[in-house]
Amino acid sequence: MSKFYITTPLYYVNSSPHIGHAYTNIIGDCVARFKRLKNEEVFFLTGTDEHGEKIKLTADECNEDTLYFIDRVVNSFKELWNKLNISYDFFIRTTQDFHIRVVQEVIRYLFEQEDIYKSNYQGFYCIPCESLWTEAQLDNGLCPECKRKVEEIVEENYFFRLSKYQDWLKRYLKDNPNFIKPKIRYNEVLGFLENNDLDDLCVSRPKKRVSWGIDFPIDDNFVVYVWFDALINYISGIGFNQDKDKFNKWWPADIHLIGKDILRQHAIFWPIMLKALNLQPPAMIFAHGWWKVGEEKMSKSRGNIVNPEELIKTIGADGLRYFLLREIPLGMDGNFSWLAIKNRFNSDLANDLGNLVYRTLSMVEKYFECFISGNFEKIPDSFKECLDNLQKNYVPLMESLDFSSVLEEIWQLVNTMNKFIEDTKPWLLWKENKVEDLKWFLFSLLEGIRIMSIYIYPFMPQTSIEIMNQLGRDDKEITLKKAIWQKGSFKITKGKPLFSRIDAD
Ligand code: MSP
């Protein structure tokens, strides 16, 4: 059995999750479920990033004890992941003891190896981004990433020798063109490394300025820089320095899934940290795009967030998962609008998919008292080509995370089956007493629906299971091996329509 290790970023806990956070975890879940469908052994890691001044300040503003505040926000993340059926294997919190210990061990090790050293620092600090910048990097005196105000800082600090490894990283990227995806992000990182000299990374913060962090193990006056702390979760979460066998089993990660906003930290800091620790880099870093409202990235600080809980109430977890994965090709930005959601939901889910299942099962109920068996092995010509294409393309498209294309192909099958019903006119077969033809027609539709329900599993797990159950089959049949035409029987239980149209504006 091959193994597959996928991670998501650790979310800051200064506020409850929004659609942007949900997007990353839904993508991660879709990949993890696809791999399980292929019978691979999966470890799916997600969690929360709980240090840094921003979080402490937010807790103070709410007049709450910092840890109490954090626990509350962490629960809201966990609740949302439950509602969205995110099948993570472990939820890591950077305030957990084992993680703190590993971070401190890493710092000590790198200090002894002289990859971390003490020096003077003069620069500009952006609290929301938790990033330090030189004067030259500022954009008209503002943070080059978020364009907000920065604070000037002069102090002693500890530094990690990024510069020492710049040439290695450049070479590594050239030798591994699939290390960062999509290509546009790979080019961005390589271009940056070719045109700039990396500054060493400041990995400590003086306690007099930042109090909420992991104690710097070799100097009591400092805490660890929150990014240096958080990135280490990808190894501490699978047993680094705690459980050798577990760690060796899962590392290196197959995919670090991130948003494009945190590419620099993952594609430059992290591979260099791993190199200094003598560990292999992850196989791939995939940076997806942003959900925007108008022209602006959705984020709490811009005050334009969409609450996923509200949407789930209207379109369900699967409706939201489907929309986010179908609407834009992975890697691109997307515009979030209620109209787009409503159109997709009503047309793709309520009309195409929902109707197909409902009317097919209604006919099986009406004409064959809920039971049909088929000895036929031949796929009807009218949807053979469509199904063949899907069977050929599904795995390669899923492996390249081209989710919107996969869904498009699945919907071609759905619509071909709908057309098959309209063209065949089953009610005429019934009238003319062509029972065998009618039985063959319905059996083929049930088989087509069964196979389709396996393919939609990574995207809409609840719907997939619901369809399988309505077909009278066990959830265990949801595996890629069974996504082929089979003889057999169906003892169906017709349920309510899978999706009811939304009319509200
Ligand atoms: N804590 C750091 C990550 C540390 S990983 C070792 C962080 N947290 S975050 O909460 O600000 O954002 C995490 C991720 O949420 C982003 O990388 C991205 O994956 C996702 N998104 C946040 N807003 C988003 C959108 N508006 N659109 C799409 N994804 C977005 O950065």
Q: How far is the CA of 25 from the centre of ligand 1 (A)?
A: 10
Which domain covers residue 381, as residue numbers?
338-491
Q: Which helix (H) or strand (E) holds 41?
A: strand 41-49
- The pLDDT value recorded for residue 294 is 84
Question: By three-state DSSP, how is residue 347 classified?
Answer: helix
Distance in angstroms (rounded) separating the CA atoms of residues 224 and 210? 10
Task: Report the CATH number at residue 459.
Answer: 1.10.730.10
Is the confidence at residue 342, as pLDDT, over 90? Answer: yes
What helix, strand, coil percent values describe the chain, rounded to 5? Answer: 50, 15, 30
Q: How far is the CA of 182 from the centre of ligand 1 (A)?
A: 17
Q: How far is the CA of 76 from the centre of ligand 1 (A)?
A: 16
For atom 8 of ligand 1, the residue with the nearest CA is: 11
Confirm whether 280 is domain-assigned. Answer: no
79 CB-near residues (< 8 Å, 6+ apart): none
Confirm whether 207 is domain-assigned. Answer: no
DSSP assignments along 368-402, one per residue: HTTEEEE---PPPHHHHHHHHHHHHHHHHHHHTT-
Confirm whether 225 is domain-assigned. Answer: no
Confirm whether 367 is domain-assigned. Answer: yes
Span 446-473, average pLDDT: 98
Q: Which atom of ligand 1 has the smallest separation from the CA of 230?
A: 6
- The pLDDT value recorded for residue 103 is 98
What is the pTM (predicted TM-score) of this model? 0.95
Choice between 372 and 504, residue whose per-residue pLDDT is larger? 372
Which of 8, 15, 24, 336 is the pocket-test mutation for ligand 1 (most atoms within 8 Å of CB)?
Answer: 24
Confirm whether 388 is domain-assigned. Answer: yes
Q: Which atom of ligand 1 has the smallest separation from the CA of 49?
A: 1
- The pLDDT value recorded for residue 325 is 98
Mean of all residue pLDDT scores within the chain: 95
- The pLDDT value recorded for residue 130 is 76
Which of 23, 214, 257 is the pocket-test mutation for ligand 1 (most atoms within 8 Å of CB)?
Answer: 23
- The pLDDT value recorded for residue 379 is 85
For atom 17 of ligand 1, the residue with the nearest CA is: 259
Chain centroid to CA 124:
32
Closest to 383 measured CA to CA, from 441, 425, 439, 427: 441
For atom 18 of ligand 1, the residue with the nearest CA is: 259
Q: How far is the CA of 11 from the centre of ligand 1 (A)?
A: 6
Distance in angstroms (rounded) separating the CA atoms of residues 103 and 215? 10
- The pLDDT value recorded for residue 210 is 86
Confirm whether 251 is domain-assigned. Answer: no
Span 117-141, average pLDDT: 88
Q: How far is the CA of 290 from the centre of ligand 1 (A)?
A: 9
- The pLDDT value recorded for residue 382 is 87
Single-letter residue type at 104? Q
- The pLDDT value recorded for residue 376 is 67
Distances (CA, A) of 351 to 157, 335, 341: 61, 23, 14
Span 454-460, average pLDDT: 98
Which of 46, 49, 300 is the pocket-test mutation for ligand 1 (most atoms within 8 Å of CB)?
Answer: 49
Span 57-66, average pLDDT: 93
Length of the chain: 505
Model confidence band, residue 86 (pLDDT cutoffs 50, 70, 90): very high
- The pLDDT value recorded for residue 215 is 98
Q: How far is the CA of 120 from the centre of ligand 1 (A)?
A: 31
For atom 25 of ligand 1, the residue with the nearest CA is: 20
For atom 13 of ligand 1, the residue with the nearest CA is: 11
Pocket of ligand 1 (CB under 6 A): 9-12, 20-21, 23-24, 49, 230-231, 233, 258-259, 261-262, 290-291, 297-299
Distance in angstroms (rounded) separating the CA atoms of residues 72 and 74? 6
Model confidence band, residue 378 (pLDDT cutoffs 50, 70, 90): confident
User: Exposed, middle or buried by CB within 10 Å (0-12, 13-18, 19+), for 395?
Assistant: middle
Q: How far is the CA of 21 from the centre of ligand 1 (A)?
A: 6
Beta-strand runs (E) in 278-321: 285-288, 291-293, 296-297
Confirm whether 79 is domain-assigned. Answer: no
Q: How far is the CA of 299 from the centre of ligand 1 (A)?
A: 9
Choice between 22 and 378, residue whose per-residue pLDDT is larger? 22
Is the confidence at residue 83, as pLDDT, over 70? Answer: yes
The dihedrals phi and psi of 70, each to the nearest 5 degrees, come to: -60, -45
pLDDT, one tens digit per residue, over 184-216 is 999 999 999 999 999 999 999 999 888 899 999
pLDDT, one tens digit per residue, over 285-320 is 999 999 998 888 888 878 888 889 999 999 999 999
DSSP 476: G
User: Exposed, middle or buried by CB within 10 Å (0-12, 13-18, 19+), for 116?
Assistant: buried
Q: How far is the CA of 164 from the centre of ligand 1 (A)?
A: 29
Is the confidence at residue 141, as pLDDT, over 80? Answer: yes
Distance in angstroms (rounded) separating the CA atoms of residues 25 and 43? 14
Of 26-30, 133-137, 225-229, minimum mean pLDDT range: 133-137
How many domains does the structure of the chain reveal? 1
- The pLDDT value recorded for residue 128 is 83
Confirm whether 366 is domain-assigned. Answer: yes
